[in-house]
Amino acid sequence: MPNSRIKVPESAKRGAVVEIRAMIMHPMENGFNTDTQGTTIPVHIITDFVCRFLGEEIVRVKLEPGLAANPYFAFYLKPKRGGEVEFEWTDQDGSVTRASAMLNVT
Amino acid sequence: MNRKGVAISVVTQLLVAAQTCCAASPAAGAERSGYEFLSPETRRLQDDDFANPGMFWVDQGRTLWARAEPASGKSCESCHQQSRMAASAIGFPKYSAAVGHLINLEQQINRCRSEHLKASPWAYESQELLAMTSFLSHLAKGRAIEVAIDGEAAESFKRGRQFFYQRRGQLNLSCANCHEQHAGDRLHGETISQGQTNGFPVYRQLWQTLGSTHRMFAWCNEAVRAEPYAAGSREYVDLELYERWRGRGLKVESPAVRR
């Protein structure tokens, strides 16, 4: 399972804009690289990234081989009430990496 | 003693004094970290502990540090206190009496593994070795590099310096040709750095991954179309010592981000 890193503020004021960050350790092989023997390294990427807040999808990204390794996303959320922020990365081989954090709204 | 003799002996004393003082105190200030040659965007990436991709390896290293090896039931923590390891990385490469020659941090980690943890050594550039090296180097972040070049290390230091000034490869360039004589100048779209090693292991954007000092040496050697030496070879450990000494006083930045 790849390492992932997320950043969600512990608490936020109702209606205030908060920054959410997410990053995953992944080589994002684009299919154009070769190993030391000259053999082509096949494409190996994360295909989908989804972030949900209170069960509702707030961000969905479809990733392509052109992206750099260790894809990093930062986006903003304006919460009306507190709840769980869930993150989900899907690898092309079908494996899914999940992470989540609580966001308390005061 | 004639005047010339006096002058020479004064110079020698100054050199000795310079060497002893430099080993203990920050250097004169001509040394500039690769950080200073970076674009503002890349600097921000390095400074942000969240976005800096190198921190993944540091996290991994922290896990490995506490992981017990099945053969001995011991982990790094069994012998070392993490809080007391902050200064460990800044002194490498250093002479090891047990081995009888100079070893770098990677080799010390592997020695610990085979001697005390009864585990197989990690291969050079393996994720595990990079993780442990970056974790230990990260503990030393902000501390000044300080290596010993006297005594048993003196011969290695001499060879390392010789390597640095030796022209090599089809392009017939020495390390010094670029990183000393042309540091700060442009090479196509790049600014040539001083080639300092205080940020290693670095996350190199070109590689899209973390790399060791020796991978960088090999890359540089290939860039001047010279046959690179093996990672962990005596030649590269000697060069690493000279490079560390050259950057004495610079603060450790590991894991740094470089182009």
pLDDT tens per residue, range B163-203:
999 999 999 999 999 999 999 999 888 899 999 999 999 99
Our CA-based measurement puts residue A25 at a distance from the nearest CA of chain B, in whole angstroms, of 7
- pTM to 2 decimals? 0.86
A41 vs chain B: nearest CA distance in angstroms? 14
Residues of A in contact with B125 (CB under 8 A): none
Smallest Cα–Cα separation from B91: which of B154, B138, B146? B146
* Residues of B marked as catalytic: 220
pLDDT tens across B108-138, in order?
Answer: 999 999 999 999 999 999 999 999 999 999 9
Counting one residue from A and one from B, how many pairs have CB atoms under 8 Å apart? Answer: 28
Contacts for A95-103: CB closer than 8 Å, 24+ residues apart? A95/A1, A97/A1, A97/A2, A97/A4, A97/A24, A99/A4, A99/A6, A99/A22, A100/A6, A101/A6, A101/A8, A102/A8, A102/A10, A103/A8, A103/A9, A103/A10, A103/A11, A103/A12, A103/A18, A103/A53, A103/A77, A103/A79
pLDDT in tens, A11-66: 999 989 999 999 999 999 999 999 888 999 999 999 999 999 999 999 999 999 99
Q: Hey, are the CB atoms on B53 and A25 less than 8 Å from each other?
A: yes
Extract the tokens encoding B61: 């290293």
Q: What is the pLDDT of residue B83?
A: 85
